[in-house]
Every structure is written in structure tokens, then in C-alpha cells.
Amino acid sequence: MSLPPGAQLGRYEIRSRLGAGGMGEVYLAWDTKLDRKIALKILPVEVAENKDRLRRFEQEAKAASALNHPNIITIYEIEQIDSVNLIVTELIEGQTLRARMLSAALTLPVMLDVAIQTASALSAAHGSNIVHRDIKPENIMVRQDGIVKVLDFGLAKLTDVSSGETVSPEAPTRPVVYTDPNVVMGTALYMSPEQARGRELDARTDIFSLGVVLYEMVTGRLPFEGSKTEVLALVLSDKEAQPLARYSREASPELERIVSKALRKDREQRYQTTKDLLLDLQNLKQQLEFESRLERSVPPEAQKVPTQLAATSSVEPPSTSSISGATTSPLKRRRWSLAIPLVILILVGSIFIYRWESASSSLHEPSCVPAPASSPGA
């Protein structure tokens, strides 16, 4: 069923169609009672007749409405109007993460921010033992102000075992409903190995899916690529994803470690709680911010010093005379130090020779004393 603009469903007036997914169509609508824009997710009539899909549709509303968190879409109500089943949610004005990645390359700080906010939302859900089971770029919305919202808890499953998460007092949650075990649901490209095998799931399956999303944000590609069958085969095999550094210069060793740990095939080796993953992501972001501030605080002159030193390291450093201010090399100083004593020696020798020759000449010169005069009468 497709609703044209202007169609009325109870107090909601359809404005435009926003999109469609496996669980129904989404419309931008106007709440005529509260005078605000809202989003309506409507389950098609033919699907509503399927009791299982109708139950999952209702489950989405219950699961999401149980989670009060700034990074999880807010559910206003669930209704059935004129045999139309619909969920009323807040309107998120922004882009899906998929559209955001396609529109422009993401910087590393933006990638970490998206991952941190998504992990924060999942940590709150896991605190009430709610597993999303379908984390992918299409279910992550990025608002115009940078706030991330996790959507579509239609595949959420309430686990019967505590995940060990703690619930933030600012984001209270409460348990919701169960779904049938041993049923494979989700998107193959982002499934954990245990999800692909149809096993019982816990919070660690969402950690694997978020690891796939983070890998894709950094490298622009999936860790396991191919057809649905090929991807599932790779996920279930022992083959690990290629290192981030092979595809991106943004990948630091710490980021590599975080993503690699989130993508461990054996969930016992994976992050055990989303809180642990969240803390590592936050620490990495703080480290990068500190390094950026430190780099900006260094004066440009100081930044040039290493380059200048490197440029002169292969030659003798100049030496400045404190007397004349002239610059001389050590080789020239050595020559002067040898020449000065030699000049002094030559001068002293010249004086000595001059005096010796003068003395010698005075000894051999004829006498000039006049002969005595003859006496008269001699």
C-alpha cells in the first residue's frame, strides 16, 4: 500500500514517502494534534496478515520504546488505524550512515564519533538484554548536528542471560519480549558467525556487526566481500579480514587492534561487552584529540627545527666568533692556530739573524782612529 501526500490516518496527515524496508514503508507525516512532524512506519496489508511478521512489527515498537537513550530513535506510539498497523516515531532529519559514506569521505574523528555513539546506544540496549541483531549503515542515522540514532529494532531479541552490561541512569531501559530461537535473521554482510549459524545470540553479535561497520567506514570496503553465499562462507571460515592499514593510511595500530578484536570469529575472543569496546574507542578519540591540540600548540618556528637539524647533520656545524662575528669552520680555525706560532717564530728568527749579522760586521770593519801627529822638530 502506497499513501499519497495529503492522505489522512487518524490524526496523522501524510506529507511524503521517506523510504521502505523489509518491515514496511516510512512516511513523513504531520501530527495535527501536537502540531509536529513525525515519521510513520506502516506495515503493508499483505504483510500484516502474516501473524509472525505482525508480531515482529509490534515487537520493534515495544523494544525501541523500552529504550530511553539519546542515540536510540524515540517511539511515540503504536497504533492500528483503519486496519493499518503503524509505528509513530520521532522524525530524524539527516542521512543514513550509508548515504553519508557515499556522499563524502569520512574523517577519522567522524568515524570514531559515529562508532562511539552507536556503541553507547547498544550498551544501553544490552543493559536490558536487548540485542539489535541487524546493525548496519542503513540502520544508523546521522543527524545534521552530528547526533547518531540507531533505528529498526524489528529484529531485536531479548536474551535470557544477563549480558553483564550496566545501565546508565541517564538512559533507563526495561526488558521486553522474546523471539523464536534458532531463526537466522539479519543482513548477511554484517552477520556474526554465530548469527549465521542460527545459534543463541547475545550482545557479542552486535559487537561483531559494529566491527564490520567500523571496518567499512575506515577502508571503504567490507571485511568479507562477495555474494551472500560467499560472504557467509567467509564469515564461517577461519579466514580473517585483511588489516586496515592495507587500505587506509588513517589506520593506527590502536585502531587496528580495536577493529580486529571486534571482528574475532570466536566470540570468546571478541570484546565481551559493548562497554569495553566503547571505552577503547573513547580512549583512542581522546588520544587523537590530545595529539592534535599538542601539534597546534607548537610554534611554527619550533616545528622547523627538526628539519633544519636534519638538513645540516651531514656537514660541520658553523661556529661564530665572539670577537668579529665571522663564521669559520673548524678546519680554518686549525690552520690559523698553526700559522700564528709559525709567523711569530719567523719574526723572532729574523730579529735574531739581523742582530747577529750587525754584530759580525762591526768586528771586521777597519779602524778610523787618526794616526798621532809628529812632534815639531822630529
Give the E-state strand segments of the chain in sequence order: 8-9, 12-21, 24-31, 36-42, 75-81, 84-90, 94-96, 130-131, 140-143, 148-150, 157-158, 319-320, 327-328
User: Is 134 among the residues known to form the active site?
Assistant: yes
Which option is the CATH number for 1-91: 3.40.50.11740, 3.40.190.10, 3.40.50.300, 3.30.200.20?
Answer: 3.30.200.20
3-state secondary structure of 44: coil
pLDDT of residue 162: 46
- The percent of residues above 70 in pLDDT, for the chain, comes to 72
Instruction: Check residue 300 and give its pLDDT.
Output: 65
Encoded amino acid at 61, one letter: A
Ordered strands of the 75-81 beta sheet? 8-9, 12-21, 24-31, 36-42, 84-90, 75-81
Categorize the per-residue pLDDT at 337 as very low, low, confident or very high, splitting at 50, 70 and 90. Answer: low
Catalytic residue among 113, 134, 152, 202: 134
Which has the minimum average pLDDT: 63-67, 237-241, 251-255, 290-294?
Answer: 63-67
pLDDT at 375: 47
Nearest 5 degrees, angle CA 357-CA 362-CA 366? 140
**SS3 category, 361:** helix
Residue 278 has pLDDT above 80, yes or no: yes
pLDDT at residue 227, rounded to an integer: 79
Q: What is the mean pLDDT of the chain?
A: 79
| 331 Cβ contact partners less than 8 Å away, ≥ 6 residues apart | 316
- 75 neighbors 88 (Cβ within 8 angstroms): yes
Every domain range in the chain assigned CATH 3.30.200.20: 1-91
| pLDDT at residue 237 is higher than 90 | no
63 against 88, higher pLDDT:
88
18-22, 64-68, 155-159, 373-377: lowest mean pLDDT where? Answer: 373-377
Q: Is residue 340 predicted with pLDDT exceeding 50? A: yes
**Residues of each domain in the chain carrying CATH 1.10.510.10:** 93-295
Residue 286's pLDDT band (cuts 50, 70, 90): very high
Residue 44's CB is within 10 A of a number of other CB atoms, namely: 17
Which amino acid is located at 138 in the chain? E
Residue 266 · residue 235 · CB < 8 Å: no
Superfamily of structural domain 93-295: Transferase(Phosphotransferase) domain 1 (1.10.510.10)
Which range is most confident: 204-208, 332-336, 352-356?
A: 204-208
pLDDT tens per residue, range 98-126? 999 999 889 999 999 999 999 999 999 99
State the pairing for strand pair 12-21/36-42: unpaired
